[in-house]
Amino acid sequence: MNAALQALGFDARDRVLIIHADDVGMCQVILSGLVNLFDCGLVSSASVMVPCPWFQQAAAICRDHPTIDMGVHLTLNSEWPLYRWGPISTRDPGSGLMDE
C-alpha cells in the first residue's frame, strides 16, 4: 500500500487519477478556465512558470483561491523559437542564461 495514498484516506483497492495542468502562465487564455477546472474537480494540481508573461495573473488567482494546489515549474530555458521569455535572476549576457 502506498503510504501517501493511505494518508489521504484511500485503501489498497482504490485507484487515483491525478490530472496536472502544466506551464501555467504561458498563455492568458488558460487562466480563466483553470479556476473552473479546479472547481469542477477536473484538475488536481498545476504548476506556474515564473518568467512567463502571465505569472502575475496566475499568482493573483492563487491568492484568490488558496485551495488551488499550485506548484512552481522550474523553467531553465525558453524552448519555443517564436515565443521567448528571459531569465528572472540576471540579464547579464555573460551569465549564459540568454541567447542572441
Q: What is the rounded average pLDDT of the residues 4-33?
A: 90
| Distance of alpha carbon 84 from alpha carbon 53, whole angstroms | 10
pLDDT more than 90, % of the chain: 54
More confident residue, 62 or 5: 62
> Could you give the CA distance from residue 41 to residue 6 in angstroms, rounded to a whole number?
20
| Half-sphere exposure in the Cβ direction for 93 (13 Å, CA) | 2
Beta strands in the chain (DSSP E): 20-24, 45-48, 70-72
Report yes or no: 35 and 65 within 8 Å, Cβ to Cβ.
Answer: yes
pLDDT digits (tens, 9 = 90+) for 28-67: 998 989 999 999 999 999 999 999 999 999 999 999 999 9
User: pTM surpassing 0.85?
Assistant: no
